[in-house]
Amino acid sequence: MISIEKWRFSWTLVATVASVLTLVSVVHLFLFPLVPSFDYFTARQQIQNSCVPIKESAEGVTNRVWENSPPQLNLDHRFPADLHNAVVYRNAPWKAEIGRWLSGCDSVAKEVDLVEMIGGKSCKSDCSGQGVCNHELGQCRCFHGFRGKGCSERIHFQCNFPKTPELPYGRWVVSICPTHCDTTRAMCFCGEGTKYPNRPVAEACGFQVNLPSQPGAPKSTDWAKADLDNIFTTNGSKPGWCNVDPEEAYALKVQFKEECDCKYDGLLGQFCEVPVSSTCVNQCSGHGHCRGGFCQCDNGWYGVDCSIPSVMSSMSEWPQWLRPAHIDIPINANITGNLVNLNAVVKKKRPLVYVYDLPPEFNSLLLEGRHYKLECVNRIYNEKNETLWTDMLYGSQMAFYESILASPHRTLNGEEADFFFVPVLDSCIITRADDAPHLSAQEHRGLRSSLTLEFYKKAYEHIIEHYPYWNRTSGRDHIWVLAMPLRRYGTA
């Protein structure tokens, strides 16, 4: 019998093809970032063997030659490959043609004086302590459960879908909760009246779990029946999950249902009794506190990872990609209180990448709303706050994001940028880490890839509305990293 693979048309398949093309484009942009003309095949040999950086407009007309462009350089001769056909760049072996390009062009590239704007705009009510002020735009980035110009409005995110006679807690969703729902994040906890009100009751922990019907079969959860005896009981011989004392439980080797564990970020221990660091983008760069995935920046700093200084920050603490800097203070500036922004002149090498500071719904809120701490991140932290690297493939999206944010090629000056990075952490959607009624694929026929595409559409619309950069090249210099998986459909 011959088996033939068939591909069936679906939006998921369309999304898959789009993601593959995007990733290929990203690779080409980084391996050959000096030729945005997209005449790849005719220019490939020149790119691999020389360093002649040119930036072109959407019409294909050169509008900027990189400053102090070096003469053509024979990279094959200057950087020969080793026995493994590799060229070492920054202590790491690379495929020969890539390693030659990186080593050669980096070594001869000339620094240029770049003007970076250090923002000083204020935000309404200083975001009411429930958000971070973007000092470039004067806009608040509100934490989970808050919104408004000053982050003063509360949003209530329910854990459960509407109930029915058959399903008193609504149909299943990752956030489903039979106890206390924290409506700022749609997460489930023991709640008031218990000994440990902040102990998580995540997913199957609070519901009856049926043993396998036959050997080797999985357990099943009855989402219509809460397991409140195992949650709330105060029986001295076997106190419930929400009332058991960790020290006594460890001493007596008390066993609890394995479905009760610490799925939420920031907690460790069999009974979630050990507070640890949560995972944030670049761990807030040393200029903020990570609150469940969202960086709460110190005064004078902002950005998704608190890496962008404002005029209120200390220059001695500026990140490496903004140092050394020469400050240009306007003659008519009133330094005592009315200063809006400053210009900092920094020496940099091209290519330059501008990272959009998108609203947090595209990144920080997705991290803060995770129900599974291991999903869509590349690390968590142990009881000593030491890094534990995960093998989660989707965590590579966050690693890529963090690398660009800390790159010496990053710039705050979009007018001088060669590329633009659009940070959407859709891996948290693909993995259902944030699955809850307010962020469900129900309207997308259950297709998470379709929900993800909606996020990218919204990000595109936001960029078009608030920035001028996309229309200049029809988005050809914009970098997107999609996390949608490759799937096969059907066999015959």
In tens digits, the chain (492 residues) has pLDDT values of 333 333 333 444 434 444 444 444 444 434 333 333 333 333 334 444 445 443 444 344 334 444 444 556 677 888 888 888 888 887 778 888 888 888 877 777 778 899 999 999 999 999 999 999 999 999 999 999 999 999 999 999 999 999 999 999 999 999 999 999 999 999 999 999 999 999 999 999 999 999 888 888 888 999 999 998 888 887 666 778 999 999 988 888 877 888 898 999 999 999 999 999 999 999 999 999 999 999 999 999 999 999 999 999 999 999 999 988 888 766 555 544 445 788 999 999 888 999 999 999 999 999 999 999 999 999 999 999 999 998 888 899 999 999 999 999 999 999 999 999 999 999 999 888 889 999 887 777 778 888 888 999 999 999 999 999 999 999 999 999 988 654 543 333
Residue 55: inside a domain: yes
b/e sequence 436-470, b meaning 16+ C-beta within 10 Å:
bbebbbeeeeeebbbbbbebbeebbebbeeeeebb
Helix axes 96-108, 40-49, angle to 10 degrees: 70
Cβ count within 10 A of residue 123: 21
- Find where tokens 């220019």 sit: 43
**Whether the Cβ atoms of residue 373 and residue 187 lie closer than 8 Å to each other:** no
What is the pLDDT at residue 327? 83
- What total of structural domains would you count in the chain? 1
Residue 393: inside a domain: no
Q: What is the C-alpha separation between 282 and 225, in angstroms, rounded?
A: 41
What is the pLDDT at residue 109? 74
Residue 2: inside a domain: no
Q: What is the C-alpha separation between 132 and 305, in angstroms, rounded?
A: 11
Residue 56: inside a domain: yes
What is the pLDDT at residue 89? 82
Q: 387 forms bridges with which residues in the sheet?
A: 381
**Pairing label, strands 146-147, 139-142:** unpaired
Domain span including residue 73: 44-108
Q: What is the C-alpha separation between 457 and 443, in angstroms, rounded?
A: 16
CA-to-CA dists, residue 179 to 160, 201, 203, angstroms: 11, 8, 11
What is the pLDDT at residue 131? 97
**Residue of 306, 295, 370 whose CA lies nearest to 142:** 295
What is the pLDDT at residue 20? 43
**Whether the Cβ atoms of residue 229 and residue 205 lie closer than 8 Å to each other:** no
What is the pLDDT at residue 31? 38
What is the pLDDT at residue 339? 58
What is the pLDDT at residue 58? 39
CA-to-CA dists, residue 224 to 104, 167, 175, 204, angstroms: 64, 5, 14, 11
Burial class (CB in 10 A: 0-12, 13-18, 19+), 21: exposed
Residue 74: inside a domain: yes
Burial class (CB in 10 A: 0-12, 13-18, 19+), 77: exposed
What is the pLDDT at residue 51? 55
Residue 53: inside a domain: yes
Residue 286: inside a domain: no
Residue 59: inside a domain: yes
**Residue of 382, 179, 378, 404 whose CA lies nearest to 280:** 378
Q: 87 forms bridges with which residues in the sheet?
A: 94
**Residue of 410, 358, 435, 459 whose CA lies nearest to 137:** 358
pTM reported for the whole predicted model:
0.80
